[in-house]
Structure 1
Amino acid sequence: MEKITLTVPASRVVSGRALAGVVGSGDMEVLFTADPSQTLTIEITTSVDNSRSRWEALFNRLQTVSSLPAGTLTIHDFGATPGVARIRIEQVFEEVSYA
């Protein structure tokens, strides 16, 4: 198991919490808690060792295509593909937009 913490600039403020995925499903669970800061803190626990560069690339890509909300994103990854990871992350961001 590897633990990774990333911090990226946030470009919007939201409120509330959101959850997508189920950790026992075999892929991943993503939890988001909004806060009024200027950053998005990402805390990742993954079963895939040496995957920091993959996660950094995913969040760099997300920054270019959408506005990231301020808060804390907690990810429990159990071997999800980058496509599934992106879907789960976008799901919590969309859900919290309606909170």
Structure 2
Amino acid sequence: METLTFQFPAAEPGRGRTLVGCVSSGDLEVLIEPGTPGQLDIQVVTSVNGSSARWSQLFKRLFDGRSVPAVKIDIHDFGATPGVVRLRLEQGFEEIGHD
């Protein structure tokens, strides 16, 4: 198991909290909650050691040129593919957008 942390610039804090996915499904779960103004904080707990570069590139592609809310994201990963990670993050952002 490995714990990774990432930080990106963000807008104002997001509203609400959400949980999408389910780590016990062999997939991943994403918890999103309001964060500190101006920053997006991500913590990834993954079963795949040595995957920091893959996660970093995935987040850069996802957030580059996009205004995202200032939130804290906790990801518990059980070897999910980048496509599934992106799907779960998009679902989470959609959920907090409806509050």
The alignment status of 1:77 with 2:77, answered yes or no, reads: yes
Q: How far apart, CA to CA, are the structure 2 residues paired with 1:29 and 1:12?
A: 24
Per the alignment, residue 31 of structure 2 pairs with 31
Question: What is the one-letter code of the residue matched to 2:98?
Answer: Y
**RMSD over equivalenced CA pairs, Å:** 1.3
Q: How far apart, CA to CA, are the structure 2 residues paired with 1:18 and 1:3?
A: 21
Identity of aligned residues (%): 48
How high is the TM-score relative to the length of structure 2? 0.93
**Range with greater deviation from structure 2 (34-43 or 76-85):** 34-43
Q: How far apart, CA to CA, are the structure 2 residues paired with 1:16 and 1:47?
A: 28
Q: Secondary structure at the match of 1:3?
A: strand
Q: Which runs of no fewer than 5 residues in structure 1 stay unpaired?
A: none
Deviations 1:16-65 (A, max 9, x none): 10111011010100000013521010010000011111111011001126
Q: How many residues align?
A: 99
Moved over 6 A (4+): none
Q: Which runs of no fewer than 5 residues in structure 2 stay unpaired?
A: none
Q: How far apart, CA to CA, are the structure 1 residues paired with 2:36 and 2:44?
A: 21
